[in-house]
Structure 1
Amino acid sequence: MVYNWLNIEQFCLLCDERCDPEHSLCGACEADLPWLGPQCMVCALPLPAAGLICGQCLKRPPAFDQVVAPWRFDFPIDSLINRFKHQSRWPLGRLLAELLARHLKHLFNEDLPRPSALLPVPLASKRLRQRGFNQARMLADWLSPALRIPVRNELLQRTMDTPAQQQLDAAGRRRNLRQAFALPDKKQLHDQHLAIIDDVLTTGATAEALARLLKRAGAARVDIYCLARTPKPGD
């Protein structure tokens, strides 16, 4: 008997129930993810109502134009991201990238402007040696063919090994990133629409530093595409 490879069963990565062979997550688990509801129209901070801009963005408009994130950084998304990022569980990262690509395609159909290139956040060399991979670069490489948008890894460089951002408050994160990034070739950026790829947006310090650098080099628009957005402490 000839084995039919097309009949291989697919099991959900979260609940182990059978699911659509084309997906790694069953419909019930996907619906139960902490989808980001009403949010700031600029930084995607969770808000009580839709169509608003948060107080921080009104008071101090960021250098980036818009953050796109499907989920709140809450269970089980936080666990999936941490297992991908810190335990090298790459299938989980690929699953999240596929869901993010689907989310972005929907938004593109709803008139979200398409960028000309994806720019993963560069990882400090010490952290890259410790981890063995750059999670933002992997996400960008998975997003690229699905969205048909090229990845430009060479446009951003990390010039300093800075302390981990997770250990710092918002002001400390901003200080930590001063002079941390560089642009080897600014001529390629004039009037470009670019999207920075990262895993989680917390205070937005990294996104702000990179967007400001790109805008100063002539970029017309800089968006941030990430997997999850953290709410304010206590929310």
Structure 2
Amino acid sequence: MRCQPNAWRQVYNWLNSEQACLLCDGRCAGPLPICSPCKAELPWLEQQCRICALPLPAAAMVCGECQNKPPYFDHVQTPWHYGFPVDALITRFKHHGKWPLGRLLGSLLSHHLQNAFAQGLPRADLLLPVPLGKQRLRQRGFNQAGMLADWLHTHLQLPSQNHLLRRARETDAQQDLDAAARQRNLRNAFALTDPSRVKHKHVALVDDVLTTGATANSLARLLKKAGARRVDVYCLARTPKPGGFCPQ
């Protein structure tokens, strides 16, 4: 029947414009499954270190740690500090396989990056997800950083290489260690399968959360030694420093 395609188009449009919010189950007017009030209440990171995105009490500053010992990476771009409800959403995505939540966060991150590019942030030549060890990959069943990189590749039209970085050896879980132990834990932990692929390139590491920055710094050091021109970090959230400034 001639009316069938039109009827399906109406149903298709309704499905795309009447999604349920994944946070409150209310109706969404936009293309993403999050309503405007819930989106506004996410812990947006506004005042931060210009290099590592550490939450700070004033904008356009460089934190003391980056001044005293500049990291190997050049810039961290992230929309949120690690607070509620983003912390809970990342945990459910990462440890409980709630992929729709990860995809929502990845889509919001891509929009954040598009705005940053429009305001002058240089676009990366290549996306590289932080690699997961084989044992942890078997336990979890997926690499959340790899999934984020795939979604950013689709939304931003940036090349992504999921297997260029690898874990050279198994390491302990970083969240169980203090800052000094994290550095020791990551010594010689990563390798590049083809160093020539990053030479003279602007590379962006993709991960879910930046805590002390030890993993990103170790990977950025490896990439810079291989000839990378610039290394940025694209992540979902940045944790405040323990005992330091914490956005409300």
Query: 1:106 maps to which residue?
Result: 115
CA distance in 1, matches of 2:166, 2:140: 18
- Distance (whole Å) between structure 2 residues aligned to residue 185 and residue 87 of structure 1: 33
CA deviation string 1:55-105 (max 9, x = no partner): 000000000000011001000000000000000000000000000000000
**Residue 41 (structure 1) aligned with residue 50 (structure 2):** yes
- TM-score normalised to structure 1 length: 0.98
1:230 pairs, out of 216, 236, 239, with 239
From 48, 53, 62, the equivalent of 2:71 is: 62
Question: Deviation at 1:215?
Answer: 0.1
* Residues 108-151 of structure 1: per-residue CA shift (max 9 Å, x gap): 00010001110000000000000000000000000101111011
Give every structure 1 segment of 4 or more consecutive aligned residues whose post-TM-superposition deviation is greater than 6 Å.
none
Identity %: 60
Coordinate RMSD, CA, aligned? 1.1
Mark the runs of 5 or more structure 1 residues left unpaired by the alignment: none
2: distance between equivalents of 1:189 and 1:19? Answer: 41
CA distance in 2, matches of 1:61, 1:166: 23
2:157 equivalent to 1:148 = yes
Name which of 76, 87, 105 aligns with 1:96.
105
- Counterparts of 1:207-226 in structure 2, within 5 Å, are 207-226=216-235
What corresponds to 2:27 in structure 1? Answer: 18
1:224 is matched by which residue type in structure 2? V
User: How many equivalent pairs are there?
Assistant: 235
CA distance in 1, matches of 2:199, 2:32: 39
Aligned equivalents of 1:55, 1:199: Cα separation in 2: 24
1:116 maps onto 2:119 in alignment: no
Q: Distance in 1 between matches of 2:175 and 2:222?
A: 22
Which residue is equivalent to 1:6? 13
Bigger radius of gyration among the two: 2
